[in-house]
Chains A and B, each alone.
Chain A
Amino acid sequence: MFMPAILYIVALVGVPFVMAFVYSVGDVKVGSTHYHFVGLRNFISIVHNPTFIRSLENSFFFTIVSQILVLVGSTILALALKDAFPGRRLLRFLILLPWVAPVSIGSIGWKWILDSLYSVINWVLVRMHLVKPFDTPVWLGEPKLAMISVILVHTWHMLPFATVILLAGLTAIPKDIPEAAAVDGAGFFRTLFQITIPMMLPIINVAVLFGVIFTFTDMTVVYILTRGGPYDSTQVIPSLAFFTGVLGSDLAEGAAISIFMVPVLVIVTYMVLRSAYRAEVT
């Protein structure tokens, strides 16, 4: 009865995963047919590669900062969308759009918005006399601005998903509880930080778990906006693995780079699941 499901998972998840492990300890190249076991040579090679170290740091920075922004933003949105008001349905739909639209299409849109010549943001800034016409910020061309751009676009993409999850958690809180807090004399922030958010913690954990995994393993935004540049300043582990393994033909080293994400993700998953469990039990 479960055969089709098992076959499906083995074929689409299991086989590529095992192949990545096998490749990472071999010397596979695009276009060659032979395979030699080389032990940990690929791993030793990548940890000595400054680009890899840079990408690892970027990955963490990219993930942590965008997740903080997503959490704060989605909490605010969820609170705002909780109570009924005219137009709430339309607003909920609009907020969900970035998640529904394919991230690649959204990112291409952002590429134009952030373009060095045709950027609408720069056009607005110039019209508002905030920047000089021929000295506009090059959003994707300067290391710091590029990182900010990549993070903001990714946050834009992830925000709806987290909002929907938090909204579910928020509506699960019985109406009596915030009312009791109001009668008990708690103001907005006391209710938010001492009642609402603690009660939502288990579901916030779920949102963080998914957010971290989607962010840490995602390369679409980086690939489309900056290709990891300038000077690898926005290079992250998944994009580096793609550039090395697929575009650079060194499948073995690309596999080794992507395998590096596994322990990180396992640790994150473990931590989040444990805190979710704790929040449930205590």
Chain B
Amino acid sequence: MAIVETRKLTKVFRRGNVGAVNDVDLQSREGEFLVLLGPSGSGKTTLLRMIAGLEEPTSGEILIGGRVVNDLTPRERGIAMVFQSYALYPHLTAFNNIVFPLKAQGIGKQERQRRADWAASLLGIKHLFQRKPRELSGGERQRVALARAIVREPSLFLLDEPLSNLDAKLRASAREELEQFQKRIGTTAIYVTHDQVEAMAMGDRVVVMSQGIVRQIGTPAEVYDEPADTFVATFLGSPPMNIVPAGSVIVGFRPEHFLPPGVAERMGEHVEYRFKITHSEYLGAERILYGCIVGGPFNDRKVISRIPATHGAEIVDENVYAFAVAHRDLKFFDPQTERRTAAARLPQ
């Protein structure tokens, strides 16, 4: 088990260009499941590859278990990695794939068999031992890749979007399994994904990245409820947070906090806006209402509301309703820096 730390870690691929990763300071906790979340091109995979030793940092330090590992090869770092493509060796059977890292360590045959059996029983893949990767389904390949990663009992576990090649249904169950699995073996894991649902569901903490910069680090609840800037606010949540500029401040509120008449009364202190609905989507469990605010300082601003389908009120497209947001659900951002600011007075 180990703690990973990066200090001012930077990677510039082409001199003079903006770095893929810029001055990233990060510290994992013991046994933690840390998720790096960001859109494509945000530098999360590059950051992971630098921790793995597959990419050389331009500047900054990487520490694993308190030791600077910048100059160590991947094999000397005692890590295991699951690749997006799984990177199974196509000419070797599942068993030989799993014991490959053990062979590289010079571990004896009996011990190799024992550890492979242990890993395979954890993942339920013993019956696949003699198959080649080509003869395995996506989910089975993922398990073999996981088994190959854990047989060495690594101090750190790196996962690069390991679920993105699975179909949607399998992904949900694999996600839960992976999470349980990590809790059981208790190894610190760093997990890269662009899928916010995965990040929220699995992460002990989430690192939100964009353009090579860490925007926010926090528990899923923290990054969702208390976004540090407008990027985090709009990247997390689907549909994203409503962002409305209001003079010297930017106001944000989540669609699920923008509620129709009848609910507003129970909110306590709140602000009301006249909401003209242009169109709506019925999604089974909920309804998404698209429209714009009419009148007041936010006149004509496009906003979205998300209400439970069980909410009885009849809401018809093209009509105007009085919607409301509770004061405590309003977030304020600085228009220059786009960072969070303290609660401000709302322009009326």
Give the interface segment out of A119-127, A141-149, A180-188, A207-215. A180-188
Q: Are A176 and B83 in contact (CB under 8 A)?
A: yes
Q: Are B83 and A179 in contact (CB under 8 A)?
A: yes
Q: Are A180 and B81 in contact (CB under 8 A)?
A: yes
| Nearest neighbor of B88 in chain A, beta-carbon distance | A180
Q: Are B83 and A184 in contact (CB under 8 A)?
A: no
User: Does B105 belong to the interface (CB within 8 Å)?
Assistant: yes
What's the dominant secondary structure at chain B's contact region? loop
Which of chain A's residues have a CB closer than 8 A to the CB of B80?
183-184
Q: Which of B52-93 contact A (CB under 8 A)?
A: 52-54, 73-75, 79-81, 83-85, 87-91
Which of chain A's residues have a CB closer than 8 A to the CB of B340?
none
| Given A176-B83, A282-B132, A183 and B75 contact (CB-CB distance below 8 Å) | yes
Q: Are B101 and A184 in contact (CB under 8 A)?
A: yes
Cα separation A273 to B309 with both chains bound (whole Å): 64
23 interchain pairs (CB within 8 A)?
A: A176-B83, A176-B84, A177-B89, A179-B54, A179-B87, A180-B83, A180-B89, A181-B89, A182-B53, A182-B73, A183-B52, A183-B53, A183-B74, A183-B75, A183-B80, A184-B80, A184-B152, A185-B101, A186-B75, A187-B104, A199-B89, A199-B90, A279-B91
User: Does A195 belong to the interface (CB within 8 Å)?
Assistant: yes
Which of chain A's residues have a CB closer than 8 A to the CB of B52?
183
User: Does A198 belong to the interface (CB within 8 Å)?
Assistant: yes
Q: Which of B113-137 contact A (CB under 8 A)?
A: 132
* Additional A-B contacts beyond A176-B83, A184-B75 (17; CB < 8 A): A174-B85, A177-B87, A179-B54, A180-B81, A180-B83, A182-B73, A182-B75, A183-B53, A183-B54, A184-B100, A185-B75, A186-B101, A187-B75, A187-B104, A199-B89, A199-B91, A279-B91
User: Does B143 belong to the interface (CB within 8 Å)?
Assistant: no
User: Does A132 belong to the interface (CB within 8 Å)?
Assistant: no
Q: Are B81 and A183 in contact (CB under 8 A)?
A: yes
Q: Are A176 and B75 in contact (CB under 8 A)?
A: no
Cα separation A244 to B80 with both chains bound (whole Å): 66
User: Does A82 belong to the interface (CB within 8 Å)?
Assistant: no
User: Does A274 belong to the interface (CB within 8 Å)?
Assistant: no
Which of chain A's residues have a CB closer than 8 A to the CB of B84?
176
A 36-53 binary contact with B (CB < 8 Å = 1; else 0): 000000000000000000
Q: Which of A172-224 contact B (CB under 8 A)?
A: 174, 176-177, 179-187, 190, 194-195, 198-199, 201
A 152-181 binary contact with B (CB < 8 Å = 1; else 0): 000000000000000000000010110111
Task: Report how many residues on chain A are interfacial, defined by Cβ distance under 8 Å.
Answer: 20
Q: Are B74 and A182 in contact (CB under 8 A)?
A: yes
User: Does B44 belong to the interface (CB within 8 Å)?
Assistant: no
Least distance between B86 CB and chain A CB atoms (Å): 8
- Choose among B74, B83, B104 the residue that contacts A190 (Cβ–Cβ < 8 A): B104
Which of chain B's residues have a CB closer than 8 A to the CB of A176?
83-85, 87
Least distance between A84 CB and chain B CB atoms (Å): 13
Which of chain B's residues have a CB closer than 8 A to the CB of A201?
91
Q: Are A185 and B83 in contact (CB under 8 A)?
A: no
| Nearest neighbor of B151 in chain A, beta-carbon distance | A184
Cα separation A174 to B84 with both chains bound (whole Å): 12
Least distance between B151 CB and chain A CB atoms (Å): 10
Among A185, A190, A199, which residue has the most Cβ atoms of chain B within 10 A? A185
Among A176, A177, A198, A282, which residue has the most Cβ atoms of chain B within 10 A? A176
User: Does B11 belong to the interface (CB within 8 Å)?
Assistant: no
| Nearest neighbor of B100 in chain A, beta-carbon distance | A184
B 94-117 binary contact with A (CB < 8 Å = 1; else 0): 000000110111000000000000
Least distance between B327 CB and chain A CB atoms (Å): 50
Cα separation A226 to B83 with both chains bound (whole Å): 56
Q: Which of A17-72 contact B (CB under 8 A)?
A: none
Q: Are B104 and A185 in contact (CB under 8 A)?
A: yes
User: Does B257 belong to the interface (CB within 8 Å)?
Assistant: no
Q: Are B74 and A195 in contact (CB under 8 A)?
A: no
Closest 10 A/B residue pairs (Cβ): A176-B87, A180-B87, A184-B101, A185-B104, A185-B75, A186-B104, A182-B74, A183-B81, A183-B74, A198-B91
Cα separation A177 to B73 with both chains bound (whole Å): 16
Which of chain A's residues have a CB closer than 8 A to the CB of B148?
184
Which of chain B's residues have a CB closer than 8 A to the CB of A185?
74-75, 101, 104-105, 152
Which of chain A's residues have a CB closer than 8 A to the CB of B88?
180
Least distance between A246 CB and chain B CB atoms (Å): 48
Least distance between B73 CB and chain A CB atoms (Å): 7
Cα separation A179 to B79 with both chains bound (whole Å): 13
Q: Are B54 and A182 in contact (CB under 8 A)?
A: yes
A 264-282 binary contact with B (CB < 8 Å = 1; else 0): 0000000000000001001
Least distance between A186 CB and chain B CB atoms (Å): 5
| Given A183-B79, A184-B100, A186-B104, A195 and B85 contact (CB-CB distance below 8 Å) | no
Cα separation A181 to B80 with both chains bound (whole Å): 10
Cα separation A195 to B53 with both chains bound (whole Å): 20
Which of chain A's residues have a CB closer than 8 A to the CB of B152?
184-185
Cα separation A177 to B90 with both chains bound (whole Å): 9
